[in-house]
Amino acid sequence: MTLKVEDLRVYYRTLKGDVKALDGVTFSLADGEIMGLAGESGSGKSTLGKSLIRLDGRMRHIGGSAELDGKDLPVGDTHAMNPFRFHEVSLIPQYAMSAMNPTRKIGRMVDELLRSRGVAPMRQELERRVGLVGLSADVLDRYPIELSGGMKQRMVMVISTLLNPSLLIADEVTSALDVSSQKAVAKTLLEFRDRDLVKSMIVVTHDISLVYQIADTIMVMYAGKLAEKATADVIVSAPRHPYTQALISSLPEVGVRYEERRLQGIPGRPPSLLDPPKGCRFRSRCPLAFERCAEEPPFAEVAPGHSVACWKAV
């Protein structure tokens, strides 16, 4: 088991009080698993991704633990976390277009980064990896502005995985790309895993149809809590949680004309995380809600490898 997360809670400190963006999340990730992490904006998926590598200034670790390859991951301690970063846990950020220092040639920047982490520069390996994502080695002698968006994205992917991390967090990596580049990026992620450059991966996304193509499992989050986790096929074809069902049915299908039948969204809006309601957080929007939903449903396994947090599914 690569990653084990136990009741992780991360809140944002604001003037109005704590925003409970991540409120008790427990799951595990197997060796070689690519897990898609889906949910709408504000569901806590990015917070979960970030909290496994670096909490930003407003984020506070409230409780819970994470374990990577049998070692405790000090997610709440910025300083103690440092040895793990890049070596064990790495990140492909949402902002890959601007992730590289604009005034350094890329190769030199990577050398300086490696040296600062106590790793000898490895030009040859770097060139091999750059070739692997379909870039020519001379991008290393260029400045980031001389690369296109897709090229920058691939370059950042190479940098992030250079030290063969055990866990890679890809945060909305395809959001800023056009459809053809999205496909290429998704394939590259798959290839990283298949070539053993990365042991396991969390792909944070709001695009279920894209992550479905590469992920082994998909975990759906809603309002700071887990809703459902299962293999990608099960999530798409036989979801058990009403939220997942609504999410999947609001995706457009190929071959269906939407002229007569408008695409259905999910009515209502997610609850405020400043003061979330007790019980199931999807209750107010859920077509199946009944009295028991006032109690919080456990995230329970309903079938092998399939966990759901819903009273109706148990």
Cβ atoms within 10 Å of 125's Cβ, excluding its own: 10
User: CB of 158 within 8 A of CB of 186?
Assistant: no
Query: What is the footprint of another protein within residues 250-269 (CB under 8 A)?
Result: none
Q: What is the total count of residues that contact another protein (CB under 8 A)?
A: 32
Give whichever of 21 and 53 is closer to another protein, judged by the CB atom.
Answer: 53
Binding of residue 192 to another protein (CB under 8 A): no
Give whichever of 81 and 280 is closer to another protein, judged by the CB atom.
Answer: 81
Binding of residue 284 to another protein (CB under 8 A): no
Cβ atoms within 10 Å of 144's Cβ, excluding its own: 21
Give whichever of 54 and 187 is closer to another protein, judged by the CB atom.
Answer: 54
The span from the CA of 93 to the CA of 153, in Å, is 9
The distance of closest approach from Cβ of residue 86 to another protein in the complex, given in angstroms and rounded to an integer, is 4
State the virtual CA torsion across 44, 49, 51, 53 in degrees, nearest 10. Answer: -170
User: CB of 169 within 8 A of CB of 204?
Assistant: yes
User: CB of 227 within 8 A of CB of 193?
Assistant: no
Pick from 4, 6, 26, 54: which binds another protein (CB under 8 A)? 54
Query: What is the footprint of another protein within residues 73-132 (CB under 8 A)?
Result: 81-87, 90-91, 93, 95, 98-105, 112-113, 116-117
Binding of residue 38 to another protein (CB under 8 A): no
Q: Which two tokens stand for residue 138?
A: 């001379």
Give whichever of 89 and 247 is closer to another protein, judged by the CB atom.
Answer: 89
Query: Could you give the maximum distance between any two Cα atoms of the chain, in Å?
Result: 64
The span from the CA of 193 to the CA of 200, in Å, is 7
Binding of residue 28 to another protein (CB under 8 A): no
Q: List residues near another protein by CB under 8 A.
A: 53-54, 56, 81-87, 90-91, 93, 95, 98-105, 112-113, 116-117, 143, 145-146, 156, 159-160
